[in-house]
Amino acid sequence: MALPFFSRGSSTIADRCKSDPATKLRLRYAPYYHAMQAQQGTTVRLKDRDMIMLASNDYLGLSFHPKVLEAGQAALRKWGSSPTGARVSNGSRAYHIELEEKLAAFLGKEACHIHAAGYLSCLSGVAAFAQKGDFILADKNIHSCLWDGIRLSSAEVERFSHNNAADLRAVATSLPANAAKMMVVEGVYSMEGHIADLPGLLAASGEHQCFNVLDDAHGFGVLGRQGRGTADHFGLTDKVDIICGSMSKALASTGGFVAGDRDYIEYLRTHGKHTIFSASLSASQAAVASAALDILQTEPEHLERLWTNTRRYTAMLQSLGLDTWGSETPAVPVVIGDKARAYAFWQALLEKGVFTVMSIAPAVPPGKDLIRTAISAGHTDAQLDQIAEAMAYAKKRA
């Protein structure tokens, strides 16, 4: 089965949208945008059937934690539903400032700015700092939001091989010595589950005075002391200039953050269009993130359980002979390698009551079509048993 992804040939935008084969195929097979009827922790209801959610990024399982729910409800009553505008014009709220101070302290940075989406934070964390004439050295597997940030910055971009410090060094050496440079990497790659080789990458970028931007959307809350993230995991927080990330994963909220030296954050507030001209985070979502951040520091059992579940799950997949692309984290791909088989595998899991997401090229490199799964501290032993049975069944079926 060929799955064309983009259609570009039509003469009008309306025709292009109406005749797009990728959209037609998606609507026919519907592997995306499912309408969940209900959710309780790691269980979702789809077409009147309870299923195990194995595709969300609620790594610490905090999205139904009583303290998190209570904090969100109280903030909604106190501050209303939305700040209904950008902070530059209608002001910051106490809850923005408190959360920013808390996040900065937790991450070991002087200052922080929060946005209403992780996508905005990571895009701004690149676009606000680089400019025309600069060179950006980017790992070729970075997230779409970082590519968008690179494009918007108007800087020149040079890709280096995924997680390869030697290639980064070679590429950096080929660039004009006096040009300003930025390195853009992720802490944990969300599709592959790989941890960045930060020691090697930072050593190479340091030789070329790069400004280092780390998107730690999937490392935050997962790696490092109490979940301080990938830079903390390696003891290299001081060497990373900007740590950006999302609050929609381990923090069980929405929104994102950019953290760094105070001068950098004030520069972002002066030059970052997405920071200046977009409405700020709502009180309920800020309160949820803030409560989750407290839980990270006071209830270590969630992080411990996450890693216990991750080890068990990864070992189970490997014992079945499934390819996990060398994932070292709770973001675990099951690489199938072919679109049609990936679709059959995904469907077989669904049949067995396990909800996952299929990720196909160009979202992943050609030949790496995969089922993206993510483990949560919230998965019970019984759920992990059911997932193991479903994986064995899907392997036979696909």
Ligand X SMILES: Cc1ncc(COP(=O)(O)O)c(C=O)c1O
* Count of residues near ligand X by CB under 6 A: 14
State how far the Cα of 298 lies from the Cα of 301, in Å rounded to an integer.
9
Residue 112: partners with Cβ closer than 8 Å, 6 or more residues away: 100, 101, 103, 104, 257, 258, 259, 260, 265
- Here the tokens at position 58 are 């609620």
Q: How far is the CB of 117 from ligand X (least distance, A)?
A: 4
| Residues numbered 167-196 forming contacts with ligand X, rule: CB under 6 A | 186, 190
Residue 58 found at the interface with ligand X (CB under 6 A): no
Pairing of strands 370-374, 36-40: unpaired
> Can you say how many angstroms the Cα of residue 286 is from the centroid of all Cα atoms in its chain?
18
CB-wise, 217 or 283, nearer to ligand X? Answer: 217
Which residue, 186 or 192, has its beta carbon nearer to ligand X? Answer: 186
Q: DSSP string spanning 184-195?
A: EEESB-TTT-PB
Q: Which of 119, 234, 343, 355 binds ligand X (CB under 6 A)?
A: 119
- The encoded tokens of residue 258 equal 């950019």
Q: Which is nearer to ligand X, 42 or 190 (CB)?
A: 190
Of the candidate spans 14-22, 33-41, 76-84, 214-222, the one that interacts with ligand X by CB under 6 A turns out to be 214-222
Residue entry with tokens 């953050």: 257
Looking only at residues 293 through 332 of this chain, which bind ligand X when binding is defined by CB under 6 A?
A: none
* Touching ligand X, residues 27-56 (CB under 6 A): none
Residue 248 sits in the site that holds ligand X (CB under 6 A) = yes
374: tokens are 């993510």
Smallest gap, in angstroms, from Cβ of residue 126 to ligand X? 11
Six token digits for residue 98:
């408190």
List, edge to edge, every strand of the sheet that includes 370-374: 331-335, 370-374, 357-359
Of residues 284, 4, 259, 211, the one with CA closest to residue 108: 259
CB of 49 to ligand X, least distance (A): 26
**Residue whose CB is less far from ligand X, 143 or 379:** 143
Note whether 256 binds ligand X by CB under 6 A.
Answer: yes
Of the chain, the end-to-end C-alpha distance in Å amounts to 13
**x/- track of binding to ligand X for residues 126-145 (CB under 6 A):** -----------------x-x
Least Cβ distance, residue 359 to ligand X (angstroms): 12
Cα(62)–Cα(253) distance, integer angstroms: 9
Map the footprint of ligand X across residues 215-244, applying CB under 6 A. 215, 217-218
8-state DSSP, 129:
T
Is residue 357 within 8 Å of residue 32, measured between CB atoms?
yes
Residue nearer to ligand X on the CB measure, 258 or 391? 258
* Least Å from the CB of residue 119 to ligand X: 4
Tell me which residues touch ligand X (CB under 6 A).
117-119, 122, 143, 145, 186, 190, 215, 217-218, 246, 248, 256
